[in-house]
Structures are given as structure tokens and as C-alpha cells.
Amino acid sequence: MFENGEMTMASTRLERRTGEDRTATVEALRARLRGMQQAAPQHVAPTLDDAAPAGLDEVVRRLRAGRAHSIESRSLALVCMGAAMPSGAWGAIVGMPDLGIEAARDLGVPIERVALVPHPGRAWFDVVASLAEAMPVVLAASPGRVTPTEAARLVARLRQASSTLLVAGPWPNAATVVRSVRAEWQGLADGDGRIAGGTLLVEAASGGAPSVARIPIGGDGPAVAPEHGQELLHQPAA
């Protein structure tokens, strides 16, 4: 993660490792992260980046540190990550091997300050917890079935580190659930014409009345998936 004295984006592969090999790999990751932690800004609560899409401020306020938050789709999760990362801080993305780097940048993620762990394998919990010890915001694809006990154990680590976990997919007892409600398009007249742009209506619920944000899509806005399950992310170049 360091090159010529400067931090660079890193990709760590942990799949196909078991037992002592996996433990050694996770410990090596922790050692590298401790070095990053010394150079990175101290953890602070997520704040809205100046370049973030308008309307996300209320959503970001709900993404409190020390908790895990569930976000419906990957593209929406990337938008939230870009908005929530404190200025100058590092973040991490876990479990997204087909992530399009340029697409993530277009969605507002400062990819030059993001550590990538595309294949955490069975070490998913260890990797996420270790990254959270050094970085204020971690985005991870849902590992699948997670028991309430496993979720509570990880949240305890998040709370201790004052780090925010954004899960692209379901998460037990998530502090906040962010989902897209509907897309509104401009440029069509009576079914004819070209789509000039649109707005994605996003809802963030964490108890009480949900917060609603309108995110521009199309045109100069981010390519956020307008419907559940639809991802507008570029595939990596062959």
C-alpha cells in the first residue's frame, strides 16, 4: 500500500486460504493498515463531500460511525461511500472483484484513496474488521447469510474503531437501510423525445420518519441504478 513513501491503491487477494495461511494473511493486512493509519487522518464522523450529488446530506447524516448500514444496490452504495468519506481520508471496498474503477470514480468514490480487497473469501469478517480499524468508511458486498451474533460482534468492532460500514445488500439489524424508491425522467413529451436526464428518489430509514434524497442521474449526474437489481457499472477492461 506504500510506494516511494506514498500511499497507493492496493488489491489484496485472500481467497483459497484456510487455517494458518488465512490467519497469517489477515495479520499481514493488519500490519500494513497500521502503517496507513499513521499517515491517514484520524477517524471522524462521515461528512458530505463538496463534490457529492445534491440531496444526499440527509442520507449521509444517518450513516453514523460505529454502525453497519444496508444499501440496496451496489451503485447506490458507491454514491453513498463517495459522499460519506471524510476529505483526505482513506476507505476500503471489499468483495467486489468486478468493480469498474472508472465507473466508481464517476459515482464519486475517490478511488485513488481506496484499498481494494476483491476476494476476501472466508476471511470476510476478519478483513472488514481489520480495515475498519484503520479507515473511517468501509464498503463491502454482502457476504450472504449473516447470523445476528456475527453481525453484533462486527458492529462491536466498528463501534470501538468509530468506523462506518456500508453493506451493499442485506444486513441483520442494520442501523440504516438505504433504498431507491423511483426514478423520475425529464425530456419525454407524451411518450416521445429523448431522455435529457432524471432524478433518483432515495429513502434512508433508521427509525422514525425516513430521510428522502433526490440524486441526479444521467447527464452530468452519477450513473446510479434507477431500479432494484439494475447496476449501471462498467465492466473492467479486458
pLDDT tens track for 205-222: 987 778 888 877 655 555
Residue 34's pLDDT band (cuts 50, 70, 90): low
pLDDT above 70 as % of the chain: 62
Which residues, in sequence order, are CB contacts of 57 under 8 Å at separation 6+? 48, 213
Residue 162's pLDDT band (cuts 50, 70, 90): very high
CATH architecture for segment(s) 2-176:
3-Layer(aba) Sandwich (3.40)
Distances (CA, A) of 118 to 10, 12, 67: 10, 7, 22
Model's pTM, two decimal places? 0.72
**Residue 214 has what pLDDT?**
81
Residue whose C-alpha cell is 488465512: 22
User: How far is 45 from 158, CA to CA, in rounded Å?
Assistant: 12
Which residues in the chain are classed under CATH 3.40.50.300?
A: 2-176
Please, where are the H alpha helices in the chain?
Answer: 19-39, 57-62, 74-84, 101-106, 124-132, 148-161
